[in-house]
Structure 1
Amino acid sequence: MIDHLSLQVRDLSAAAAFYDAVLAPLGGRRLLEFGEVIGYGAQRPEFWLGPLSSGARGSGGEAREVHVAFSAADRATVAAFHAAALATGAEELHPPRLWPEYHESYFGAFVRDPDGNNVEAVCHTPPEA
C-alpha cells in the first residue's frame, strides 16, 4: 500500500549515518543522493531523508515523533538491526523480543533515531521448528 516514505531531519549527516548502519542488515542502502535528499532501498528508493522544513513542526514549534517499522526477513536480522542501532549510540526503546499482543509471531526491536523518531525492525514469520 505504501510506495515510499520520507522523514525530515534536523541533521542530515547524523541521520544518514544512523540509517546507513541500521538499514544495512535489512538489505537497504543509499540508492540516490541529490541536493539535500537521500533515498534508501534494496532495489528502488522507498525511504527518504531530507532537511527539516519550517512546516514540519507542531503548532508550538516542537518536533513530532514518527514511528517507522522496517521489515526483517528473520529474527536474526531484527537482532542485527538492533545491534547496529546501538553501535551508532541510538537509544534503545525495546530490545528484540516477541510482542504477542500484536500477534503470536510478531518479533520486533525499537530504537530512537537522531531526531527522536521511534524506529523498529519487525519479523512476522514464526521461528523454524
Structure 2
Amino acid sequence: MFDHVVFGVSDYAASKAFFLKALEPLGIEVVLEGPLGIELSADGKSSLCLFQTEEKPAHLHLAFTARTRQQVEDFHRAALEAGGKDHGAPGLRPHYHAHYYAAFIIGPDGHNIEVVCHEPEA
C-alpha cells in the first residue's frame, strides 16, 4: 500500500486524459488540480500525482488493486480506448498465485500500468 506516488509526464494533457479514463472503473477521480499537477484518488487515503516535466525518468510499473475481476476487464477496455497499448490482456497469472487476475497496459509515457484482483472468481 502506498500513501502517494508522484511522477513526471511528458504530455500532461494526454496523461491526465489517459489515467482518468483508464482508472475510472476503479472509482479513481480528480482530488486536486493546480499549478503543480493533478492528484487522483479513489479512497482519499492514497493518491497518484502527475506533473509536467521535460526530464526522462525510467519507466514505472504501477499496480492498482481491483475489488473484482470485472474491474480488471473494465480497466483494460477503458485504457485501450484512452490510447494505451496492450501489454497483457485480463487473465490469471498463476505464477504469482492461484487467484492473481490482472491486466497490463503501456501508458502514454511507456509506464506499465497494471490492475490486479487477488480474489477468487465470484
Q: How many residues align?
A: 121
Q: Are 2:75 and 1:81 aligned?
A: yes
Identity of aligned residues (%): 38
Q: Matched residues in 2 for 1:91 and 1:39: separation?
A: 23
The match for 1:117 among 73, 94, 111 is 111
Displacement of 1:7 in angstroms is: 1.7
| Greater Rg over alpha carbons, structure | 1
| Pairing 1:67–2:68 present | no
| Mapped partners of 2:105, 2:43: distance in 1 | 25
Offset from partner CA, 1:31-66 (integer Å, 9 cap, x none): 100104100002426111011254xx3xxxxx4110
Segments of 5+ residues of structure 2 without an aligned counterpart are: none
Deviation at 1:23, TM superposition (A): 1.2
Runs of 4+ in 1 over 3 A off after TM superposition: none
TM-score (norm 2): 0.93
1:4 alignment counterpart: 4
1:60 maps to none
What residue number does 2:48 align with? 47
* TM norm structure 1: 0.89
Matched residue of 2:59: which SS?
coil
In the alignment, is residue 100 of structure 1 matched against residue 94 of structure 2?
yes
* Residue 120 (structure 2) aligned to one of 106, 123, 126: 126
Aligned-pair Cα RMSD in Å: 1.3
